[in-house]
Structure 1
Amino acid sequence: MYKDNSYYIDLNNKAENLIRKGEFLGSGHNGIVYMLPKNRVIKIFKDMKVCEQEYTILKRAGKNKSKYFPKVYDRGSYYIVREYVGGKRLDKYIKRNGINKKITHNIIKLIREFKRIGFNKLDIRCKDLYVNEKFSLRVIDPKNNYSKKMEYPRHLMKGLNNLGALEDFLETVKDEAPKEYNFWSERIEQYLKYGIK
């Protein structure tokens, strides 16, 4: 019988056993996630290269002792077992509650952390950030942070603009981080008006 390899992933026995113990959490563009015992998840990737890239980012963040990224416990060619990240997705939280100064403060710290650990891409999408009840942030699904260059949080601010929160965000950035404010506000204005990245 013909096997459609574009949707078939050959997992090892270890990964299959973990999935059997897991509970489906969700799926996205790059794969599917199951909750595991001991506050862990297994993420199954469609693409081996994407799995390797995410693993590399998470391992480097761990070596740099970054509190913003989940710990990695295991990996295979198509999967990563990592710490579970709880809380609410940032875009959904803002849609319901708006943005506040504490969240903005933590976003500024996060982007500075990206720079500290050597990321070339100082950006992330709102949907790849989770906020907890104390407004601290955690990253899920980091992408292309070493392979792509972006000097300011363009996707993040575009998302905030779509949520009607960009103006409040930038007001707090202006007070707390004037240097970043000057650069970020100028770049996002050029992007939103003219599409200049």
Structure 2
Amino acid sequence: MNDINKIAAKNNGKITIQDLSGFTMLGKGADGSVFQLTPVKCVKVFVNEETQKRELNALQIGQSSSVIPRLYEYGSNYIVMELVNGGNLKAYLKKEKQLPKPIVLKILFMLEELKRIGFTRLDTEVRHIFFNELEEIKVIDHKRAFTTNRSVPTKLFTGLKKLGYLEEFLSHVKEINPSLYREWKKIEIK
């Protein structure tokens, strides 16, 4: 961790991807790159500082929830947070070839948690839902937590449909929460 502090200190509080060349890159997207720092921490370096501010705000507000990664420190263009050791829902479904009820219960819990902590985007993509080695659920990429209003998880539905698991998911929801099932069944999924 001191390495990150030293790098940021000599770069006016910023970190570049080149500064992290000695660390393992875990992923790269349009918003930035994620590197593993320790067995329990990672750093996301953002392309745009405004995106960093939005994601940081969501992480700060979400610290009371077990589904949001722990926040450790941050700078103007980076965030150091909990490394979720495990795979995402998309990888899980491809490997396991099923969507069991206990996983659906965890997804429903995650959606309720996003609502409880005040996010206006109660949705996420299947690739942003992770399960750690204890099968605890974590959700990442919260830059739109307060800039998008979505009370129905349409991105989740779309991802599950593409993978062939939407009907299985909804059948579990019907059993777990019939009123929620009736509400969601009315939605047209593309």
Query: Aligning the two structures, in what range does the TM-score lie when normalised by the shorter sequence?
Result: 0.7 to 0.9
Q: What is the aligned partner in structure 1 of residue 82 from structure 2?
A: 83
CA 1:90/1:173 → structure 2, altered by over 3 Å: closer, same or farther?
same
Q: What is the aligned partner in structure 2 of residue 59 from structure 1?
A: 60
Please report how far the alpha carbon of residue 26 of structure 1 lies from its aligned counterpart in structure 2 after TM superposition: 1.9
Please report how far the alpha carbon of residue 19 of structure 1 lies from its aligned counterpart in structure 2 after TM superposition: 2.6
Aligned equivalents of 1:11 and 1:68: distance in 2? 32
Please report how far the alpha carbon of residue 167 of structure 1 lies from its aligned counterpart in structure 2 after TM superposition: 0.5
Equivalent AA in structure 1 for residue 74 of structure 2: R
Q: What is the aligned partner in structure 2 of residue 39 from structure 1?
A: 40
Identity of aligned residues (%): 32
Structure 2 unaligned spans of 5+: 1-9
Please report how far the alpha carbon of residue 135 of structure 1 lies from its aligned counterpart in structure 2 after TM superposition: 3.2
Question: What are the superposed Cα offsets for residues 109-128 of structure 1, whole Å, 9 maximum, x if unpaired?
Answer: 11111111111111000011
Aligned alpha-carbon RMSD (Å): 2.1
Aligned equivalents of 2:35 and 2:94: distance in 1? 26
**TM-score between the two structures when normalised by the length of structure 2:** 0.86
Please report how far the alpha carbon of residue 96 of structure 1 lies from its aligned counterpart in structure 2 after TM superposition: 1.9
Please report how far the alpha carbon of residue 131 of structure 1 lies from its aligned counterpart in structure 2 after TM superposition: 1.6
Alignment of 1:5-16 (within 5 A): 11-12=11-12, 15=15
Q: What is the aligned partner in structure 1 of residue 167 from structure 2?
A: 167
Question: What are the superposed Cα offsets for residues 86-106 of structure 1, whole Å, 9 maximum, x if unpaired?
Answer: 111111111221211111011
Aligned equivalents of 1:163 and 1:151: distance in 2? 22
Equivalent AA in structure 1 for residue 87 of structure 2: K
Please report how far the alpha carbon of residue 191 of structure 1 lies from its aligned counterpart in structure 2 after TM superposition: 3.6
**TM-score between the two structures when normalised by the length of structure 1:** 0.83
